[in-house]
């Protein structure tokens, strides 16, 4: 994506000049720019929006990214150096913003992404246990909350009680009241999301239609829903005027509409009434527990609630500046109501995102304290539970996050945020292919309107990865091709496709050639480098394997990275075969330590390989038998375990074939059950 043309008015020229003078100052944001231009913050925001069609923070970020292009073309600085020179405190965040804006990583410009790019790209693959595809993730993690576009190759399945709440229109003469109208829309959306009998499209999907002139049938088609909620409102002093209508998409006809003229003091009654009447109009079943959730008041203090509504827009921006503004408003809200659970929860989440891209964590205890307060005052709030789960993710206690997320999904079955985090956890940190695929597919149903082709491409890549891990290779190939259709320059999709193709045809040599082509495009990619080394290892071409493994290992050591610890046994074996016994011993010891500390379902399989190397044949077979009792391991285990040269000593054991067959049978039994379950729930 190219830069949007910036208006050449004197105002914009002056703003750009000041920004360039302060380009390396990470703290130079909207407030600092307003002060430098001797104008109020609100006036600056309006003028930038009017002349560039961008928010002030978007405009500042665009100037920083534009300046980075010039530095990249000089071909003399590393990515890390450039990111800090243009005011990004985090290299990984700079790469994320650059990729989102231009559609490719900064390393593709002039091939200046040397070692620093490796460090960033290596993080996303830190926890894979076998020859895996790439985890897109995270939001990623918490940030990609996106979904299918409309160019499906399969016919879409329309769900009867599917609904999208479009952004409400602000009809107030005072534009500063827009936060209040936006808050009404988000509250209506949140109440509807608590009804399990509905499928409610996420806020991120509908946001793109805020200024759209598309008709209801077209929007409904893009979102794959049967019903659209439209609203408009205004606030005059303490009076709220609101018009809401529910439109049946097929006929473009309102089937329910109501005008509200109430005092602000009755705002919660108004919000609850909207949700209940919409549910009734489309005959959705609302359980007593769901009704209790809908009717629950977040606070009795209207001033605190007003501050909370003001905080939503900067909070949803996820930018550093936006989060800091949200924190300021939310702190004022809890000063007015010390039991305001939603405000405490969003404070915890705001601090979590501020810390997300930091090497040194600053807010761990703050996140925990606010999350605990949120749960203290509302144990049945999905937002409170999310806040506590994010604290556990922040401290890398991923298993402790799970029950909070699963309980949050009970209280808000349409929460795409929860679904995407669960998908990420089960893919990367607590490997379980069935749950990974389940939540990846659920996320697709909840958040289907990615705003651009690049986002769509990564959505299809993630789904393809989940399908491939569970052995659905045909479906995985369908979606990886769609990923490449949306973005032929997708950084990871060709890598994923190479392995999916191998799952179909078993051609190891062709897989290796495909990966070598990808490494040629970017010779700094540690993920592909070690995969090519491993494929040569499987072919017992140890000289070629050493070539790639040695470069990979030296770079990893130079950067002090602890990535691919499960590959150390293979690397050590290659070093030993090449005559470097002292070096190989280092890798063997590292692998033994990895097996001892591994808490995943792959521990017994990894330990079996260690015993096989050490000549403990009976113990190795015993460990493989233990592994054969595990559930939902990745398909790659079946495809590669017998190709590993280290397993050769086990093949003479009388129980070897029986044990390997048990591993295979267990996988396919689990896959059959998974397929049946997904089809039953209309997820596959």
* CATH topology match: 10-113 vs 162-302: no
Q: Report the share of the chain in percent with pLDDT over 90.
A: 39
Between CA 199 and CA 225 the distance in angstroms is: 8
**Extents of the domains making up the chain:** 10-113, 162-302, 496-677
Q: Give the per-residue pLDDT at 171.
A: 79
Each residue's pLDDT tens digit, 409-452: 888 888 877 887 888 888 878 888 888 888 888 877 766 544 45
Name the residue with higher pLDDT: 403 or 193.
403
Whether this prediction's pTM lies above 0.75 is answered by no
Burial group, residue 447, by CB count within 10 angstroms (0-12, 13-18, 19+): buried
Rounded to the nearest 5 degrees, what angle is found at the Cα of 327, between the Cα atoms of 323 and 331? Answer: 170
How many CB atoms within 10 Å of residue 243?
A: 17
Q: With left for phi above 0 and alpha for psi between -120 and 50, is residue 360 left, alpha or beta? A: beta
CATH architecture of 10-113: Orthogonal Bundle (1.10)
CATH of domain 162-302: 3.40.50.10070
Q: Residue 561: what pLDDT? A: 79
pLDDT attached to residue 76: 65
Three-state DSSP class for residue 138: strand
CB-CB neighbours of 256 under 10 Å:
17
Tokens standing for 305? 């609630």
Architecture label for domain 496-677: Alpha Horseshoe (1.25)
Average pLDDT (320-334) is 94
- pLDDT tens track for 238-256: 888 888 899 998 888 899 9
pLDDT of 110:
46
Token reading at 629: 């009792």
Q: What is the CA radius of gyration of the chain?
A: 27
Banded pLDDT at 540 (limits 50, 70, 90): very high
Provide the 10 A C-beta neighbour count for residue 651.
12
10 Å CB burial of residue 400 (0-12, 13-18, 19+) is middle
* Dist. CA 478–CA 497, nearest whole Å: 10
CA angle 55, 61, 63 (to 5 degrees): 105
Per the CB < 8 A criterion, the answer to whether 87 and 25 are in contact is yes
Residue whose tokens read 């399908």: 467
Q: What is the β-pairing status of strands 199-200 and 162-165? A: parallel
| Terminal CA-CA length for the chain | 33
Is residue 455 over pLDDT 70? Answer: no
The closest of 384, 388, 302, 309 to 337, measured between CA atoms, is 302
| 467 compared with 151, residue with greater pLDDT | 467
Q: What is the mean pLDDT of residues 337-350?
A: 96
> Which pLDDT does position 460 carry in this prediction?
83
In this predicted structure, the answer to whether residue 145 has a pLDDT above a threshold of 70 is no
Tell me what pLDDT residue 96 has: 67
pLDDT computed for residue 127 by the predictor? 34
5, pLDDT greater than 60: no
Block residue for tokens 């606030």: 235
Mean pLDDT of 574-597: 95
524 three-class SS: coil
Q: What angle do CA 401, 405, 407 make, to 5 degrees?
A: 120
pLDDT, tens digit, 9 for 90 and up, residues 36-64: 888 877 678 778 877 877 777 778 888 88
């Amino acid at each position: 994506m190219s830069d949007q043309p910036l208006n050449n008015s004197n105002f914009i020229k002056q703003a750009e000049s000041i920004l360039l003078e302060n380009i390396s100052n990470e703290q130079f944001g909207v407030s600092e720019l307003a002060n430098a231009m001797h104008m109020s913050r609100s006036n600056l925001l309006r003028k930038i929006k009017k002349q560039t069609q961008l928010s002030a923070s978007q405009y500042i970020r665009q100037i920083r990214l534009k300046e980075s292009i010039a530095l990249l073309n000089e071909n003399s600085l590393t990515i890390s150096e450039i990111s800090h020179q243009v005011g990004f405190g985090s290299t990984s965040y700079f790469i994320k913003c650059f990729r989102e804006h231009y559609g490719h990583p900064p390393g593709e410009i002039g091939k200046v992404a040397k070692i620093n790019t490796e460090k960033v790209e290596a993080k996303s693959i830190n926890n894979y246990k076998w020859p895996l595809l790439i985890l897109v993730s995270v939001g990623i993690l918490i940030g990609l909350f996106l979904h299918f576009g409309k160019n499906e190759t399969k016919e879409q399945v329309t769900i009867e009680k599917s609904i999208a709440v479009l952004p409400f229109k602000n009809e107030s003469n005072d534009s500063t009241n827009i936060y209040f109208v936006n808050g009404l829309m988000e509250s209506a959306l949140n109440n509807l999301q608590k009804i399990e009998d509905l499928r409610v499209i996420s806020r991120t999907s509908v946001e793109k239609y805020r200024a759209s002139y598309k008709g209801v049938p077209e929007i409904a088609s893009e979102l794959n829903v049967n019903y659209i909620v439209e609203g408009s409102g205004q606030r005059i002093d303490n009076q709220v005027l609101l018009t809401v209508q529910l439109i049946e998409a097929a006929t473009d006809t309102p089937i329910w509409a109501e005008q509200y003229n109430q005092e602000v003091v009755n705002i919660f009654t108004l919000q609850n009434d909207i949700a209940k009447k919409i549910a009734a109009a489309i005959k959705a079943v609302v359980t007593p527990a769901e009704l209790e959730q809908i009717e629950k008041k977040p606070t009795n203090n209207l001033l605190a609630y007003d501050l909370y509504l003001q905080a939503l827009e900067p909070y949803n921006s996820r930018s550093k500046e936006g989060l800091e503004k949200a924190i300021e408003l939310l702190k004022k809200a809890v000063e007015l109501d010390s039991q305001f659970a939603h405000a405490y929860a969003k404070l915890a989440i705001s601090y979590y995102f501020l810390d997300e891209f930091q090497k040194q964590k600053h807010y761990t205890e703050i996140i925990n304290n606010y999350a605990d307060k949120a749960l203290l005052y509302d144990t049945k709030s999905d937002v409170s539970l999310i806040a506590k789960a994010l604290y556990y993710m922040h401290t890398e206690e991923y298993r402790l996050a799970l029950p909070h997320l699963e309980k949050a999904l009970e209280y808000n079955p349409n929460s795409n945020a929860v679904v995407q985090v669960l998908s990420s956890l089960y893919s990367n940190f607590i490997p379980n292919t069935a749950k990974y695929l389940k939540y990846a597919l659920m996320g697709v149903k909840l958040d289907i309107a990615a705003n651009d082709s690049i986002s769509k491409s990564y959505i299809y890549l993630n789904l393809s990865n989940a399908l491939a891990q569970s052995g659905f290779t045909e479906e995985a190939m369908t979606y990886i091709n769609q990923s490449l259709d949306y973005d032929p320059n997708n950084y990871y999709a060709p890598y994923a496709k190479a392995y999916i193709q191998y799952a179909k045809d078993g051609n190891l040599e062709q897989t290796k050639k495909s990966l070598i082509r990808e490494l040629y495009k970017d010779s700094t990619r540690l993920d592909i480098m070690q995969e090519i080394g491993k494929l040569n290892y499987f072919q017992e071409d140890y000289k070629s394997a050493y070539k790639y493994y040695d470069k990979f290992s030296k770079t990893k050591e130079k950067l002090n990275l602890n990535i691919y610890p499960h590959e150390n046994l293979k690397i050590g074996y290659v070093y030993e075969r090449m005559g470097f016994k002292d070096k190989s011993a280092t890798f063997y010891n590292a692998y033994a330590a990895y097996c001892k500390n591994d808490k995943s379902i792959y521990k017994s399989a990894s330990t079996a390989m260690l015993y096989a190397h050490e000549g403990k044949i009976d113990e190795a077979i015993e460990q493989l038998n233990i592994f054969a009792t595990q559930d939902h391991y990745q398909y790659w285990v079946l495809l590669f375990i017998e190709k590993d040269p280290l397993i050769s000593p086990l093949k003479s054991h009388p129980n070897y074939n029986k044990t390997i067959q048990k591993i295979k049978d267990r996988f396919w039994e689990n896959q059959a059950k998974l397929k049946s379950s997904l089809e039953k729930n209309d997820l596959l």
